[in-house]
Amino acid sequence: MMRDFGSRDPRFIALTGRVRERLLSLCMGSESHVAVPIQGSGTYAVEAALGTFCHHTRPTLVLINGAYGRRIASILERIGRRVRRYETPEHVPPAPSAIARMLKEDPEIADAVLVHCETTSGILNPLDEIATVVRDAGRGLIVDAMSSFGAIPIDLRRTPIDVLIASSNKGLEGVPGVGFVIARRERLAASAGQCHSVSLDLHDQWRGLEANGQWRFTPPTHVVAALAAALEALEAEGGIAGRFARYHENCRVLIDGLGALGAVPLLPAQLQAPIIVTFHMPADPAFAFQRFYGALADRGFLIYPGKLTGVESFRVGCIGQVRATDMVRFVAAARAALESMGVASLAPSLA
Ligand SMILES: *Cc1c(COP(=O)(O)O)cnc(C)c1O
């Protein structure tokens, strides 16, 4: 990032090409899919994918169990596409059998959209089972894999996914500013003129890249260079398997450590992705999230407020350049922060 690239210079063109290839090979999509980067945060990539691929007259089935699923439905509505919702509570994954039934009962539905890891709660939705059901019903599947890509294996040779969406700054550990969409080649080729937006049109973005290797509009050159470096670091860590192992260990140390202080996670272990953990709000009247946040920040740790509807909670991330030793330090910092607040335990009232 300390170097300025010319956005139309051959070195930057080559860099973009390497990043696109590496992204595809991470999900085994080199034979079948194409990676198209798009400027902006993850939501820009989601909106680009929905606008480029969702049908104009047939409805899209949106599987919702958190804020990111709800955002997908509201984007589709905003751009005038028809939406069918299948909503489950935030701690409950969508049932593949129910999806199969909805697709059977409504032959108009063209595609389904799934959030792989719903970062609202940290729940891991059953991607493989849902992809199989959607494929068997002859429909397409669009997956928001924003927080799971690079951290949890996805194999496009085994799992039928038409469109996969992610960004630079979560499991890939790059800096924020670029998203990307990995789309089945035929589907991308068939999407000309479909997007409601010029700047978010992935078909045109792809055609531009194929024509001369250049981005249509000014690319975030420093961010793309950082993503190239982040992809090298991922490889050096042993690829997605190595990264998954580190995040999994982070998650275990976190849940065990805060658990010893009384904290109770929202999700059972089999639904918990090693990405972000939601804990129930502690019952101790001396506990206040903002004070806890501040006391942890003073000790060098930033956590997240809860994002659930209805249930009070707070969240702690497991991803990024952190390892188990950092999680041990975090648990010690949490213990000290609670002591400073006069909080005896993180136990929620329901436990
Ligand atoms: C982070 C995230 C997004 C995109 O968020 P941005 O703030 O726009 O980068 C979308 N979906 C999921 C599941 C996410 O975790």
CATH number at residue 171: 3.40.640.10
Cα distance between residue 96 and residue 224, in whole Å:
37
The pLDDT of residue 4 is 97
Question: Would you say residue 351 has pLDDT above 60?
Answer: no
Q: Is the pTM of this model over 0.75?
A: yes
Query: For atom 6 of ligand 1, which residue has the closest CA?
Result: 42
Q: What is the pLDDT of residues 117-128, one digit of tens each?
A: 999 999 999 999
Q: Say if residue 226 is in the same domain as residue 248.
A: no
Per-residue confidence band for 273, with pLDDT thresholds at 50, 70 and 90 = very high
The answer to whether residues 225 and 180 belong to one domain is yes
On whether both 164 and 267 belong to a single domain, the answer is: no
Mean pLDDT of 238-248: 98
Tell whether ligand 1 has an atom less than 6 A from the beta carbon of residue 67.
no
The answer to whether 103 and 94 are in contact (CB under 8 A) is: no
348 lies in a domain?
no
- Do 130 and 220 lie in one domain? The reply is yes
- Tens-place pLDDT, residues 158-195: 999 999 999 999 999 999 999 999 999 999 999 999 99
The Cα 150–Cα 148 span in angstroms is: 6
> Do residues 57 and 88 touch, judged by C-beta distance below 8 A?
no
168 lines ligand 1 (CB under 6 A): no
Q: 138 falls in which pLDDT band (50, 70, 90)?
A: very high
pLDDT tens digit sequence for 70-92: 999 999 999 999 999 999 999 99
Q: Ligand 1 mean position to 168 CA, how many Å? A: 11
| 327 C-beta closer than 6 A to ligand 1 | no
pLDDT tens, position by position, 18-72: 999 999 999 999 999 999 999 999 999 999 999 999 999 999 999 999 999 999 9
Spatial CB neighbours of 297, under 8 Å, sequence gap ≥ 6? none
Region 147-156: mean pLDDT is: 98
Distance from the CA of 122 to the center of ligand 1, in angstroms? Answer: 12
To the nearest 10 degrees (0 to 180), the angle between helices 10-26 and 202-212 is 120
Q: What is the mean pLDDT of residues 332-347?
A: 97
Measured from the CA of 46, which atom of ligand 1 is nearest? 10
Q: Nearest residue CA, atom 5 of ligand 1?
A: 42
Please give the distance, rounded to the nearest whole angstrom, from the Cα atom of residue 348 to the centre of ligand 1. Answer: 28
Same domain, 283 and 263: yes
Mean pLDDT of 123-141: 98
Q: Which helix (H) or strand (E) holds 134?
A: helix 127-136
Q: 84 forms bridges with which residues in the sheet?
A: 61
Domain limit, last residue, from 236, 255, 273? 236
pLDDT of residue 80: 98
Answer yes or no: do 25 and 46 share one domain: yes
Ligand 1 close to Cβ of residue 32 (< 6 A): no
Candidate from 65, 127, 146, 277 with most ligand 1 atoms within 8 A of CB, to mutate: 146
Classify residue 181: in a domain, yes or no. yes
Q: Give me the DSSP letters along 235-302.
A: HHTTHHHHHHHHHHHHHHHHHHHHHHTT--BSS-GGGB-TTEEEEEPP--TT--HHHHHHHHHHTT--
The rounded distance, in Å, linking the Cα atoms of 326 and 257 is: 12
CATH number at residue 325: 3.90.1150.10
Residue located via tokens 């789309």: 183
- Find the helix or strand (DSSP H, E) in which 90 lies: none
Q: Does 173 contact ligand 1 (Cβ within 6 A)?
A: no
Do residue 205 and residue 286 come from a single domain? Answer: no
**Domain assignment of residue 2, yes or no:** no
226 CA → ligand 1 middle, Å: 19
Q: How far apart are CA 144 and CA 150, in angstroms?
A: 13
**Atom of ligand 1 at shortest range from CA of 147:** 15
Q: State if residue 47 touches ligand 1 by the CB under 6 angstroms criterion.
A: no
Q: Could you tell me what percent of the chain has a pLDDT over 90?
A: 99
**CA-to-CA separations, 109 to 17, 144, 202, 351, in angstroms, rounded:** 35, 18, 22, 42
Domain assignment present for 111: yes
Of 174, 206, 236, the position where a domain reaches its end is 236
How many structural domains compose the chain?
2
The three-state (H, E, C) secondary structure of 46-68, written as one string: HHHHHHHHCCCCCCEEEEECCHH
Cβ-based neighbours of 173, under 8 Å, separated by 6 or more: 150, 230, 233, 234, 319, 320, 321
Residue 351 forms part of a structural domain? no
- Residue 335 has what pLDDT? 98
CA distance 170 to 11: 26
Strands (E) across the chain are located at 33-39, 60-64, 83-87, 111-115, 117-118, 123-124, 140-144, 163-167, 178-184, 276-280, 304-305, 313-317
What pLDDT does 139 receive? 98
Q: How far apart are CA 123 and CA 94, in angstroms?
A: 11
Last residue within a domain, chosen from 219, 236, 253: 236
199 and 64 together in one domain: yes
The rounded distance, in Å, linking the Cα atoms of 113 and 150 is 20
Which amino acid is residue 118, in one-letter code?
E
Would the CB of 167 count as within 6 Å of ligand 1?
yes
Whether residue 144 sits in one domain with residue 78: yes
Residue 243 sits in the same domain as residue 229? no
Q: pLDDT (tens digit, 9 = 90+) per residue, 277-314?
A: 999 999 999 999 999 999 999 999 999 999 999 899 99
**Same structural domain for residues 315 and 332?**
yes
The answer to whether residues 189 and 321 belong to one domain is: no
Instruction: Compute, in angstroms, the gap from residue 325 CA to the centroid of ligand 1.
Output: 27
Domain that holds residue 121: 10-236
Give a yes or no: residue 115 inside a domain.
Answer: yes
Residue 83 lies in a domain: yes
CA of 93 to the centre of ligand 1 (A): 18
pLDDT for residue 202: 98
Residue nearest to atom 9 of ligand 1 (CA): 42
